[in-house]
Amino acid sequence: MAASEENSALFPIFILTIMAIPLVPYTMVKLSRAVAKKQRTIHCQCLECDRSGKYKRSLFKKISNFSTWSNLTLVLLWVVMIFLIYYTKNMSRETQVFDPFSILGLEPGVSDSEIKKAYRRLSIQYHPDKNPDPEANKYFVESISKAYQALTDPVSRENFEKYGHPDGRQGFQMGIALPKFLLDIDGASGGILLLWIVGVCILLPLVIAVIYLSRSSKYTGNYVMHQTLSAYYYLMKPSLAPSKVMDVFTKAAEYMEIPVRRTDDEPLQKLFMSVRSELNLDPKNMKQEQAKFWKQHPAIVKTELLIQAQLTRESGVLSPALQGDFRRVLELAPRLLEELLKMAVLPRTSQGHGWLRPAVGVVELSQCIVQAVPLSARKSSGVSSEGISPFLQLPHFSDAVVKKIARKKVKSFQELQEMSLEDRSELLTQVAGLSATDVDDIEKVLEMMPSLTVDITCETEGEEGIQEGDIVTLQAWVTLKRPNGLIGALPHSPYFPFHKEENYWVLLADSVSNNVWFSQKVSFMDEGGAITAASKTISDAMEGSGAGVKETSDAVREAIEKVKGGSRLVMGKLQAPSEGTYNLTCYCMCDSWIGCDKKTSLKVKVLKRTRAGTRGFVSDEGAIAEEGMEEEDEIEEEDYDDDYESEYSEDEDDKKDVVEKKGSKKANGTVKKKESSSEESGSEEE
């Protein structure tokens, strides 16, 4: 009776522990995150962005934000836990260790007369003669009289002192803290047990594996389909014009999956009419071109039209069904554009260079989609290469406003940015006829706009010049500044309905030969991650060049300061091409803002390869260059921690010993080599 009660209290404790160990830390993390949540807003404050509803935190939203599934389960689990604690506390009160003093209500070590007195007092209360209650009877026999005996009877007392129980040595019981019904295998629980084993131990892993495999065969690590990547790979051409990038972009397999409905035809036709001018159709034989456009795969037609709807800000006229597709298309767009860019800069040429022109086209398309600015607005107008598109990303700007301010000699976006505050507001209110609140909005957006500086160096580590075939280390510090002082921020993008982070692409390219030498994505959002990454790369580089501990730590500290000041480190290695002087351009392009891209030129001079390094290398044998010409960019220390791996090295060991023996008489290394080879051939002849 008592044992089963005890067991039923033990199982909850087991469950409780298993629950509490993940639950408590998880809750603490969650709470601390909720407390430390940054109150600073990092998104654009202009009216248009507010109106887009992306960053709205209404009361309803706040509630729904709190009542997510994870939070609800968290609360539920805590309730269960508290219940369990309460339950076990209650249950375990009955399962106390036999302690005669506490049963008699005495302090340990009191005199015999006191014990007798207490026993008599309790007897009056519980003795079956005085108390007819069977419970009391039981308690008297099992506890009180036993306790009294234990303290007065010498045998019992000795037993109690020796084994902790007046009845002498007690057994040693073993059990499992699981509910009873799980443990008797013969009865009904056999089925439960079988179900449990088959279900949880075999089926569950299998199902998870199958789901994982089927998903991962379709998607890459970046949640983009394999099919999309291969389509992009084949369609990417070295001189893909920026206007044609769109055609490649829409071929993604994800977009093919969007259903094509018959009911969409009419609204799409309507949409086509409104965006026709943007589609690059030849105006001379419009009919033919139109027919050709509609003959494409319906999903591609639809995607292209929907993207054009975004670029021309025509999304308001879409039917509800199309509105859903439109959101889907835009949701996928950033991810796909990133992959497309990666495809463009993929090493294609024999020197391992990617293509510049398509890469630039992809970034421009990305900027246009995020800012909802038509591609045609980018056509260069003579003054700036980006045309009027930078103006159009500002709130309250339209073609008419741009024309008006152009009359006042403000033709490029940079001119507008560089004007003083008063001049600008005067220009906008007087000439363009905007209201004071509108001007305020524009100022907010202009304050949000990043300006970039790139500080790039290219050198062979520890050498003076760059020679053919060297591994060149490229180090660039990309520094971002905004007039309002933020570093990591969300761009002004009122027409893009999703959360979009700014990403920057650093491309080192030869613009004449269309070659991208090096490319990397930079993000300014995660400062902590950038600090660890930068300090790691710096310390690795310093270690490789043999610098001391102090120098390394100084360099790391400096790098951390820089990162905190809004810079990001880009580090890469590339192989120097053949001799010559290269005029490279370092492009630093933003994928969400128009008009803040930065180009920095960099001259790289590659010298002819000389025999050896300039670092005072002393060789005691002539032919170094002939030796070991195979490419080895990394030396890996092999960890021979296992019997198996090491045996492969064993034969080298033998050979070397032979070599060593023969060569030890001679001082010269070259002779050593010859000697050993002749030795080997000699042995073969035997």
Picking from 570, 531, 557, 538, the residue whose alpha carbon sits closest to that of residue 452 is 570
Confirm or reject binding of residue 629 to other proteins (CB under 8 A). yes
Output 21 or 421, the one with its CB closest to other proteins. Answer: 21
Q: How many residues are listed for the chain in this entry?
A: 686
CB 122, CB 144: distance < 8 Å: yes
Output 163 or 234, the one with its CB closest to other proteins. Answer: 163
Confirm or reject binding of residue 107 to other proteins (CB under 8 A). no
Contact segment (CB under 8 A) with other proteins among 90-98, 264-272, 401-409, 417-425 equals 90-98
Output 186 or 686, the one with its CB closest to other proteins. Answer: 686
Q: Which residue has the tokens 């309905």?
A: 497
Confirm or reject binding of residue 108 to other proteins (CB under 8 A). no
Min dist CB 4 to other proteins, Å, is: 12
Output 422 or 631, the one with its CB closest to other proteins. Answer: 631
| Interface with other proteins (CB under 8 A), residue from 646, 661, 674, 677 | 646
d(Cα 542, Cα 299) in Å, to the nearest integer?
53
Instruction: Give, in degrees to the nearest 5, the angle at Cα 32 between 26 and 35.
Output: 140
Confirm or reject binding of residue 684 to other proteins (CB under 8 A). yes
Confirm or reject binding of residue 421 to other proteins (CB under 8 A). no
Confirm or reject binding of residue 681 to other proteins (CB under 8 A). no
Confirm or reject binding of residue 623 to other proteins (CB under 8 A). no
| Interface with other proteins (CB under 8 A), residue from 71, 73, 648, 666 | 648
Question: Under rule CB under 8 A, how many of the chain's residues touch other proteins?
Answer: 95
Query: What values do phi and psi take at 616, rounded to 5?
Result: 60, 40
Binding mask 174-213 for other proteins (x = CB under 8 A): xxxxx--------------------------x---x---x
Binding mask 557-586 for other proteins (x = CB under 8 A): ----------------x-x-----------
d(Cα 607, Cα 201) in Å, to the nearest integer?
64
List residues bridging with 603 in a β-sheet: 583
Output 4 or 380, the one with its CB closest to other proteins. Answer: 4
**What is the identity of the amino acid at 602?**
L
Considering only residues 311 to 350 of the shown chain, the ones binding other proteins according to CB under 8 A are none
Host H or E run for residue 457? strand 451-459
Confirm or reject binding of residue 543 to other proteins (CB under 8 A). yes
583-586's contacts with Cβ under 8 Å and 24+ in sequence apart are 583/510, 583/512, 584/458, 584/508, 584/509, 584/510, 584/517, 585/508, 585/509, 585/510, 585/511, 586/454, 586/456, 586/476, 586/506, 586/507, 586/508, 586/509
Considering only residues 142 to 171 of the shown chain, the ones binding other proteins according to CB under 8 A are 163-165, 170-171
Min dist CB 460 to other proteins, Å, is: 6
Output 460 or 585, the one with its CB closest to other proteins. Answer: 460
- The tokens describing 560, both together, are 């951390």
**What is the identity of the amino acid at 438?**
D
| Interface with other proteins (CB under 8 A), residue from 35, 97, 188, 623 | 97
- Terminus-to-terminus CA distance in the chain, angstroms? 89
Min dist CB 661 to other proteins, Å, is: 12
DSSP-assigned letter for residue 219: B
Confirm or reject binding of residue 686 to other proteins (CB under 8 A). yes
Min dist CB 230 to other proteins, Å, is: 16
Considering only residues 48 to 87 of the shown chain, the ones binding other proteins according to CB under 8 A are 85
Host H or E run for residue 119? helix 112-126
| Interface with other proteins (CB under 8 A), residue from 142, 418, 526, 660 | 660
Output 423 or 526, the one with its CB closest to other proteins. Answer: 526
Min dist CB 12 to other proteins, Å, is: 9
3-state secondary structure of 109: coil
Considering only residues 214 to 243 of the shown chain, the ones binding other proteins according to CB under 8 A are 216, 221
Q: What is the 3-state secondary structure (H, E, C) of 3-32?
A: HHHHHHHHHHHHHHHHHHHHHHHHHHHHHH
CB 55, CB 102: distance < 8 Å: no
Min dist CB 328 to other proteins, Å, is: 27
Output 98 or 139, the one with its CB closest to other proteins. Answer: 98
Q: At what angle do helices 242-249 and 298-311 cross, to 10 degrees?
A: 130
